[in-house]
Structure 1
C-alpha cells in the first residue's frame, strides 16, 4: 500500500501544477475614427445640437476603447465630456494650442487604459509651434498622440489621431511624411494605431505613401487586413447629399507592429433619416 501511494505522488504533483497554470487570452480593443462635423449653425436640422446625444450614444453602444475624433470645437468637446464620463481625452485647439479652433481629440477608456505619455504636434514645417500652418494648407492641422498601457494585458500601445488638409496637395503629402516620422520616433516600437480623416481616397498617392510596403515606417490599412469588412466602401456623404456612387472613403484606421485586425466596419446608419455626422464612423477591432 505504501509503495502504491509513493508512486501516485508524482502524478498528484503534476496535476496540481497544471491547475495553477494560467493562460493569457488577448482582449480585443475597439477603435473608432469619427469626424463629428464641426458645430456649424448653417447645418439646420443636421446641426450639432440635434446630433450630440446620438453621436455619444453610438460611441458607447459600440463599446469604443480608443476613439479618434476630428473637427471638434471646444463646446463639442465639453458636450462629449459630459456624455462620456468614462473617457479621458487628449488634445488642444489647433489655432492656438489651447481652446481655439478644431481639436483632433483622442479619447480612451479610463477603466481599460493607463496613460503613460501624450502630446500633440502641428502638421507644418514647425510642428512644435502652436497654430502653425503647413505648406499650401488652407487650415492649421494638428495630431494628438498617446502611449497607453492596457490594464487587461499589461501591454502598451501607441495611438495617434489627425486630420489632413482638405485643400493643400503638398500639405497632405508633407503632412503624411511628418506623421510617419513622428510615429516612428514616438512609438518606441510599440503596436501602433492611427486614426483620422485623411481627405484622400485609397488609390491616392497620399494613402499609397502611408501603406507603401517598401517603407519601413509604413502602416497597414485595417480595411485591407480585416477578414470581416462590413458596410459601404465610402465614409463621407455630406449628410446624404452626395450621390451614393460618388461618395469617397477618406476616413481610416491604420495599424502596425503586431496588431491583428479582427473586423472592420463603416457605420453608415441613420435614425429617422438623420445621420450621426456628414462622415460615417469607421469601427475596427484589433488584438
Structure 2
C-alpha cells in the first residue's frame, strides 16, 4: 500500500504544474504577474556551494523566463556559521544578472537582514518605502541565527508605486518556521497585524512566500481571517532537490480584495539543462488590479 501511494504521489507531482508560461509582454497591460521562490541558502564552501555553482544559471533563467512584475525570494543567504556575516553570494549574483529588477528590503548586514529581497520590474514600479519586521520572539539579534540554533524569522516589505498610476501596492514577503506550528501561527498573527491598516483602507496588499504549511492549516486560517485569499496552487512546491515532491504546496501567494486572480496559480517546474533553480519550485499567479 505504501509503495502504491508513493508511486501515485510521484506521478501526480510530474503531471501537476507547468514548464512554460505565456510571455508577460503578451499579457494585457492591466495584468500583474506575481511569483515566489525559496532560493535555498548556501555555505561558502562544501557541497551546498558546489551545488549553487551548478544551479545558479538555472535560477537566473527561471526568474527571467517567469518575468514576474513582483518576485519574492526567500533564503537568499550565504551562511558561514557566524552570528554576522557580510558575504551574500546569491544576492550579489542575482543583482548582477537581473538588471531589469530593483531589489527592495535589503541593506547593510549589521542592520538589515537581506535574505528575503523583493524584486520589482523597474519599468513598472517605483519603490516608495521598504523595511522588515521580526515575528514575536523570533528575531534578535538581526542576522541570522540565535544561540538556540533557530533562524531569526522575519517578513520583509516594500511599498511599490505603479508607474502607470493607481494605488501603491503593499508587498510582504515571509518565510515561516519549518518545525513549530506555534511559531508559524505567531508569525501569521504578526503579519495580520502589520497589514491591517492597509486592508482597512482598502489598499492593495500582497503577502507572498514560504508558509511551511498547507493552505488549509491553522496558520493559513489566521491569514484568511486577515481578509487575504490564497491563490489556488495545485501540487507540490518543495521537492527535496529532486524535482518530485510528496505533499501539497507550502509556498503560497495571498492577496487582498483589490486583486482578481486570472485563472489558477502555477507551479513552475522547468529545469535548465537538467538543473533546477532550487529545492522549491517557483509559484506564479497573474492578477488584475482594480
Alignment match of 1:161 (pick from 155, 165, 173): 173
Task: Give the unaligned 5+ runs of structure 1.
Answer: 1-24, 224-228
After the TM superposition, which residues 88-237 of structure 1 pair with which residues of structure 2 at under 5 Å, given as runs? 88-92=102-106, 96-98=110-112, 103-125=115-137, 130-131=142-143, 138-185=150-197, 188-211=201-224, 215=225, 217-223=226-232, 233-237=235-239
| TM-score when normalising by structure 1 | 0.76
Distance 1:94 1:166 in 2: 26
State the 1:126 CA deviation.
7.9
* Greater gyration radius: 1
- Taking the aligned partners of 2:142 and 2:42, their CA distance within structure 1 comes to 22
Once residues 93 and 197 of structure 1 are traced to their aligned partners in structure 2, the CA distance between those partners, rounded to angstroms, is 21
Q: CA deviation at 1:150?
A: 0.7
Q: CA RMSD in A?
A: 2.8
Structure 2 vs 1, CA of residues 195 and 94 (structure 1 numbering), >3 Å: closer, same or farther?
farther
After TM superposition, give the deviation of residue 48 of structure 1 in Å: 1.4
Maintained 8 Å contact 2:192/2:223: yes
Whose relative contact order is higher, 1 or 2, with alpha carbons under 8 Å and at least 6 apart?
2
> 2:57 corresponds to which residue?
53
Deviation (angstroms), 1:193: 0.9
Q: How does 1:23-62 map to 2 (within 5 A)?
A: 27-40=30-43, 41-43=46-48, 47-62=51-66
* Alignment TM-score, normalising by the size of structure 2: 0.76
Note the 1:264-275 alignment, pairs <5 A.
264-275=265-276
Q: Give 2:262's aligned residue.
A: 262
Corresponding residue pairs, total:
246
| CA deviation profile, 1:79-100 (whole Å, cap 9, x unmatched) | 000011111112348985346x
CA gap 1:44/1:72 in 2 versus in 1, 3 angstroms: closer
Higher mean C-alpha displacement, 122-131 vs 164-173: 122-131
How far does residue 107 in structure 1 lie from its aligned partner after superposition? Answer: 1.1
Q: Note the C-alpha offset of 1:258.
A: 1.5
Secondary structure, aligned partner of 2:59: helix
**Which consecutive segments of 4 or more residues in structure 1 shift more than 3 A?**
92-99, 125-134, 185-189
Structure 2 partner of 1:81: 95
Name the SS for the 2:191 alignment partner: helix
**In the aligned structure 2, how far is the partner of 1:262 from the partner of 1:219?**
16
Alpha-carbon shift at residue 26 of structure 1 (Å)? 5.8
How far is the alpha carbon of 1:49 from its aligned partner?
1.3
Q: CA deviation at 1:281?
A: 0.2
| Alignment of 1:66 onto 2:70 | yes
Q: Deviations over 1:14-62 (max 9, x none)?
A: xxxxxxxxxxx862111110111112432476x1111112211211122
2-structure distance, mates of 1:126, 1:240: 30
Quote the Cα distance in structure 1 between the aligned partners of 2:123 and 2:269: 28
Residue in 2 that maps onto 1:280? 281
